[in-house]
Structure 1
Amino acid sequence: MNILIADSGATKCEWCLLYDGKKKKVDTQGISPYFLDSAGIGRVIENELMPAFKRLDVEIDQVYYYGTGCLNPDNRKIVAKALRGAFRGAGVHVTHDLMGAAVAACGNTRGMVCNLGTGSFSCYFDGKKIAKSSPGLGYVLGDEGSGAYLGKKVLQYYLYDTFDEELRYKFDAKYVTNRSEILENVYKKALPNRYLASFALFLVENRGHYMIENIIEDGLNDFFFQHLCKYRESWKLPIHFVGGVAYGFRDVVGELCNTYEFELGNVLRKPMDGLIKYHQLKK
């Protein structure tokens, strides 16, 4: 059986085709049904994914898609319609990225699962299903600890002239932008969450400066306080983290777990390797 797995955030979608005992991985732009309709998703698949599979001449039997925004039933229908149109005859299974992170980090065991990427979420996984989850409010009202959240903090420090001379110089040299351009990208252009998240890289590149460390610790602590502290299971089960932000700042994540007396579990940069293992065992 040939299986196609997709793990999609708002910024990037990672695909992996399992066929004849082999693996073929492809990255495309992120797929969010809040920003793309079925036709738009279909164009991403046709233009960015299909060319990579064309030479393989493999018929796909099952598609397992784990994606941002797919907790919403209407959004799942949007994605499923696009996938069925692209992979005619294949079984299509669409669920949310919470479930993808859960099975990638936990397999079939119980645990708390957090995703800190462009956006953020948390849940309690009972080994079979998401038993509890914290409501996601998106990048405007929520997404604490995410790339968009941290990037927003960077821009606030810059626009409010909070950065010291050293950091302001480094910011200007790296981004060559201004207040008007920043506000236009945030309030008028498409995909502002991706734009905000792009500024989290400034934090990675300037670790050690007290202002940078404050932004990172405060942003991640907001996630711990607003989300993990709301679950009584957080003090009983290992807490797993998935996503580029969690992995990039895993030292701070570990320190915060110690502060809150949580047990730190796995910290994965991407869920895909865990998803591959999970579906190979199911085959």
Structure 2
Amino acid sequence: MCAGIKLIADSGSTKTEWGLLGAGGPVVLKTQGISPYFQSLEQIKAIFSGELLPQLPADAPVTDIYFYGTGLSQPKNIQLVSDAVRAVWPTTHLEVQHDLMGAARSLCGRTAGVVSILGTGSNSGYYNGEDIVKNNPGLGYILGDEGSGAYLGKKVLQYYLYNSFDADLHARFEYKYQTSKDEILENVYRKPLANRYLASFTEFLSENRKHFLIENILEDGLNDFFFNHIYKYRESWTTALHFTGGIAWHFRDVLQELCELYELPLGKILRTPMEGLLEYHC
């Protein structure tokens, strides 16, 4: 058992998992996602105070917070999240790191590896056992995020709006979503959190596996991630490739096939980094 109460956050754009150590054993809590790109200081504080605090033990003071999150490679975003944490827990020891470091510590511990996140967004890097020493630039869901939920969801919408689905898939899409071109464009171009909206359409991919058009979307989208990111690390051919995130987990068979096709060493595939982070910080 760890001494004191530690909170470990693994935060993506869609959801945040909170690992609690030291209050009767590991517990995992959930709140909505936290993204400093799309949310203000007040909005993030509201998530902490309105969603997280009510779930915490009232008589157990939080002594340490390790916050791993999307967008936290930029100093201004680190400051934003730090300010929000300090507003709720002013004296708690705090470490704020980007989500890729959280994935690396979870998947690799203190050994080297190429680490990738495939969730609502995507990211990758080479971890030497202590630090991320190589990181291919992330360009966000508009210019990049290959292989992510937003990227794959965008392809689903393209196939639908361009009438590239066959009659069967087209009918299934319309029955499931009951939407229109105008509504889709409104959500993508005018409403907030368009990346979450795009990623929501990956459910259609999961429900229609084995249809050749769905398999094409998955293979093309994940292959784009390999080509634009995995290939950029020469260590990919000599060090295990590890993956985490909802997309990585749900479509792990495609990742396995691509690693076999390109003769790359596959390591762990985890749905979330939390299990490994609890072990790392304990």
Q: State whether TM-score is above 0.5.
A: yes
Residue 255 of structure 2: aligned partner: 253
Q: Distance in 2 between matches of 1:127 and 1:24?
A: 26
Q: CA deviation at 1:21?
A: 4.2
Residue 22 of structure 1: aligned partner: 25
Q: Is the 8 A contact 2:26 2:278 kept in 1?
A: no
Partner SS state of residue 22, structure 1: coil
Partner SS state of residue 4, structure 1: strand
When normalised by structure 2's length, the TM-score is: 0.98
Q: Which amino acid in the other structure matches residue 113 of structure 1? A: V
| Structure-to-structure mapping, 1:108-127, within 5 angstroms | 108-127=110-129
Q: Distance in 1 between matches of 2:69 and 2:261?
A: 32
Q: CA deviation at 1:109?
A: 0.4
Q: Which amino acid in the other structure matches residue 276 of structure 1? A: L
Moved more, 37-46 or 3-12: 37-46
Q: Distance in 2 between matches of 1:207 and 1:249?
A: 10
Q: Which amino acid in the other structure matches residue 265 of structure 1? A: G
Q: Distance in 2 between matches of 1:151 and 1:167?
A: 15
1:73 matched to 2:75: yes
1:45 matched to 2:43: no
Q: Is the 8 A contact 2:23 2:60 kept in 1?
A: no
Q: CA deviation at 1:56?
A: 3.8
Q: Distance in 2 between matches of 1:56 and 1:244?
A: 32
1:9 to 12, 21, 39: 12
Q: Distance in 1 between matches of 2:73 and 2:208?
A: 35
Moved more, 266-275 or 15-24: 15-24
Q: Distance in 1 between matches of 2:88 and 2:177?
A: 38
Q: CA deviation at 1:23?
A: 2.4
Q: Which amino acid in the other structure matches residue 14 of structure 1? A: E
Q: Which amino acid in the other structure matches residue 76 of structure 1? A: I
Q: Which runs of 5+ in 2 are unaligned?
A: none
Q: Distance in 2 between matches of 1:69 and 1:84?
A: 19
Q: Distance in 1 between matches of 2:263 and 2:33?
A: 35
How much identity, in percent, do the aligned residues show? 56
Residue 163 of structure 1: aligned partner: 165
Q: CA deviation at 1:24?
A: 2.7
The CA deviation string for residues 157-201 of structure 1, in whole angstroms up to 9 with x for no partner, is 000011011101110111110000000000000000000000011
Moved more, 10-19 or 195-204: 10-19
Partner SS state of residue 173, structure 2: helix
1:232 to 231, 234, 241: 234
When normalised by structure 1's length, the TM-score is: 0.97
Count of residues in correspondence between the two structures: 279
Q: Distance in 1 between matches of 2:28 and 2:111?
A: 27
Q: Distance in 2 between matches of 1:137 and 1:262?
A: 25
| Structure-to-structure mapping, 1:49-68, within 5 angstroms | 49-53=52-56, 55-68=57-70
Residue 148 of structure 1: aligned partner: 150
Residue 204 of structure 1: aligned partner: 206
